[in-house]
Amino acid sequence: MFTHTKRVAKQPAKIKVTVGGAWKPRLFFWLLAGAVLLLGVMELLNVMRSPSLSRAKGPAGASSFVLYQKGRPASREAWLLTEPAADAGPPVCFQRIDCTKKDEVTGDIRWSFDGAALYATRRRPATIDAADRPLWVYEFAERKLWSLHDEPLAHRLPMSAATEAGLVDIINRHGGKGPVAAPWYDLGKRGEYLFAWQITRWERALPELK
């Protein structure tokens, strides 16, 4: 007697397909899109502030300072900073200038003759003799600001009070009047534009306003 045996064909092995990682490319895309959108918004806000940077060197390269300006035309301001350690360290802010129509006193910013000091003159002096009378003086080596008025205190900038005669004596110790560093009509004008990612270094150096 013969018996028949059924041959059972081998079934192909089932391949399991997992979709657990399919969300990762989508997540990466949305994160990237969000970052690009955020950067775009930051740059748009930055354009409205119009931050700019200008650098000036004194006679014989004795000293230099940075003019960091920002704000809309109605609220434009200039911050004066030095870079004692160049790019290796943070800049140091020593003065603020209101570049709006509110300030009708501040005139040209001038160097002393030796370039070791910087001072502000009066824009509309009462007499010709008073044209070069200073409002404030900054000595670079001492890193000290001398001021006739107490406005810098409102911005938490270190300042030492001085009389007009005292400011004149300080300038004379540095050889007297030097060339113009920044004409008053240039204050508030745009210099080299700074992108949003470039202003962090300068913003960190500004004093906290009251």
| pLDDT greater than 60 at residue 1 | no
As a whole number of Å, the end-to-end CA separation of the chain is 110
As a whole number, mean pLDDT of residues 67-95 equals: 90
Q: What is the pLDDT of residues 105-154, one digit of tens each?
A: 899 999 999 999 999 998 876 665 666 689 999 999 999 999 987 766 67
- Residue 9 has phi, psi (to 5 degrees) of -70, 140
pLDDT confidence of 12, banded at 50, 70, 90?
A: low
Which pLDDT value is given to residue 97? Answer: 92
Q: How far apart are CA 7 and CA 36, in angstroms?
A: 63
Which pLDDT value is given to residue 14? Answer: 56
| pLDDT greater than 60 at residue 5 | no
Burial code of 161-200, b = ≥16 C-beta within 10 A, e = fewer?
A: ebeeeebbebbeebeebbeebbebebbbeebeebebeebe
As a whole number, mean pLDDT of residues 70-89 equals: 89
Task: Give the CA distances from residue 1 to residues 4, 5, 7, 26, 36, in Å, rounded to whole numbers and listed in that order.
Answer: 10, 13, 19, 67, 82
Which pLDDT value is given to residue 47? Answer: 54
- DSSP H helices, the chain, are 23-49, 164-173, 200-203
